[in-house]
Amino acid sequence: MDWFYELPNLTKSDPEIAALIKKEVERWEFGLQLIPSENYASPALLEALGSVLTNKYAEGYPRKRYYSGFEFVDPIETIAIERAKKAFGVPHANVQPYSGSPANMAIYLATCNPGDVIMGLNLPDGGHLTHGWKTSVSGMFYKSVPYHVNENGYIDMEEVRSLAQQHRPRLIWVGATAYTREFDFEAFGKIADDVGAYLVADMSHVTGLILAGVHKSPVDHVHLIMTTTHKTLRGPRGAMILVTKKGLDKDPELADKIDRAVFPGLQGGPHEHQIAATAVALGEALKPEFREHGAQIVKNAKALASSLTDNGLKLVSGGTDNHLILIDLTPFGAGKGIFASEALEAAGIFVNKNTIPNDPSTPFYPSGIRLGTPALTTRGMKEGEMAQIGEWIAAVINETRVYELPEKEQRAEYLKKFRAEIKANSAIGRVKDNVKALCSMFPFYTGRA
């Protein structure tokens, strides 16, 4: 087994933490990771992330630091920047954002004033909290005008156009966290240009697919791009902000504004170990085999979606164009997401409960589940495995159909009883055995030399 599983130093100094990390490695090895925002980072990337670079405090930017000792750190951050610019074909990249949400806040800081009108996809329709949802700072500091999906689950572009013309937003987001169809960046670009808005692509979920050439690129149509570095890119948990040529044409100072918004506007010292790991991820993504990998993610998602529908499950929009699938459980009743997600976890299949458009229930007890294929594709699984997994998912969900979400005051006791019954369910136990057998055929961490 690899050093990052055996953990010899940690096991000696803190066996309690070491034991839990080893258990988490085993969960990743012997369970099916279908949460679409999760993926397997490579052993090489984990070495960079766990390196001595975590010791370095690095306020500022390469060659413009407030400390000394950057003979080797500055070149690492510069490599990450240059690889990002090359990969996406943009003139400027900032690789310092700690994560996606703070990166989006930096974009607001660089382009908007408090109270400005912004537009983004409504959260229950698949949008992201930071695109203007009411409980997010983005919905508190700015006037949010959300757009929606239509009855078929596709973004309603006529509504986007109408709302933009009516409200004249300062900034429009195109991107999502639970949207299964390809984004029409060109159409969004024309709408933003018509009303003079900044257009920002939050392409966090589909970045790897864009680099693989299996999803349209936003680069020619937007002013700014934010992407996280994990998910389909398979990097560490971080983010980047990219400024396009179109963005610099709109505002020649936009790159400087972004840099100042990240530091000193919102952040202090960047995480250079994370930036080094981002450089590794971008290096991996620039290799020819990454295009094959990205294409396989989509093939797998389509195969899994087909299997799910063949086994009687309803999908939002009827399928997928990308890596992500949203199962609509309302044919079985409202608020079924918690039952399905917890039963699947008991079977070793990890998804997340999720709202669906026009959800009749609440976000904590939603009527859908969200799943995707990036992690399983990284393990080497293909269409045949997806067909089998779809059958298992449908079988487990079928075991939950008898459960109904009770009134609020009865939920704690009801869910306690449900969890005990699911744990003892023989059909779910058989699926768990099958899952473990399948996973043993595709080792990633514990089976690598």
Q: What is the domain-level CATH number for residue 209?
A: 3.40.640.10
The reply to whether the predicted model has a pTM over 0.75 is: yes
Question: Which of 74, 77, 202, 359 is the catalytic position?
Answer: 202
Catalytic, 231? Answer: yes
Catalytic, 237? Answer: yes
pLDDT value at 412 more than 60: yes
pLDDT value at 449 more than 90: no
In a domain, 183, yes or no: yes
User: For residue 208, what are the domain limits?
Assistant: 52-285
- 165 class by beta-carbon count within 10 Å (0-12 exposed, 13-18 middle, 19+ buried): exposed
- 62 class by beta-carbon count within 10 Å (0-12 exposed, 13-18 middle, 19+ buried): middle
In a domain, 202, yes or no: yes
Question: Which of 6, 47, 59, 391 is the catalytic position?
Answer: 59
Per-residue pLDDT reduced to its tens digit, 96-112: 999 999 999 999 999 99
Catalytic, 66? Answer: no
CATH number of the structural domain spanning residue 379: 3.90.1150.10
- Going across the sheet that includes 314-315, the strands are 314-315, 324-328, 368-372, 352-354
Per-residue pLDDT, averaged over 403-418, amounts to 94
Q: Which of 268, 299, 277 is nearest to 387 (CA)?
A: 299
Q: pLDDT at position 446, please?
A: 76
DSSP 53-64: GGG----EETTE
Q: Which of 261, 285, 309 is the last residue of a domain?
A: 285
In a domain, 6, yes or no: no
Considering the domain architecture, whether residues 269 and 295 belong to the same structural domain is answered as no
Q: pLDDT at position 322, please?
A: 97
Q: pLDDT at position 447, please?
A: 65
Q: pLDDT at position 3, please?
A: 54
Considering the domain architecture, whether residues 135 and 219 belong to the same structural domain is answered as yes
pLDDT value at 1 more than 60: no
Per-residue pLDDT reduced to its tens digit, 109-121: 999 999 999 999 9
Considering the domain architecture, whether residues 281 and 340 belong to the same structural domain is answered as no
Considering the domain architecture, whether residues 358 and 395 belong to the same structural domain is answered as yes
Question: Which of 231, 250, 353, 432 is the catalytic position?
Answer: 231
In a domain, 79, yes or no: yes
Question: Which of 83, 181, 234, 237 is the catalytic position?
Answer: 237
Per-residue pLDDT reduced to its tens digit, 160-203: 999 999 999 999 999 999 999 999 999 999 999 999 999 999 99
Q: Which of 285, 312, 327 is the last residue of a domain?
A: 285
Catalytic, 245? Answer: no
Per-residue pLDDT, averaged over 295-323, amounts to 98
Instruction: Report the number of distinct structural domains present in the chain.
Output: 2
Give the mean pLDDT of the chain: 96
In a domain, 449, yes or no: no
Question: Which of 111, 130, 228, 377 is the catalytic position?
Answer: 228
Per-residue pLDDT reduced to its tens digit, 364-386: 999 999 999 999 999 999 999 99
Catalytic, 202? Answer: yes
Question: Which of 57, 186, 194, 292 is the catalytic position?
Answer: 57
| Contact (CB, 8 A) for 58 and 71 | no
In a domain, 259, yes or no: yes
pLDDT value at 261 more than 60: yes
Q: Which of 285, 305, 323 is the last residue of a domain?
A: 285
Catalytic, 108? Answer: no
Of all residues in the chain, what percent carry a pLDDT higher than 90? 96
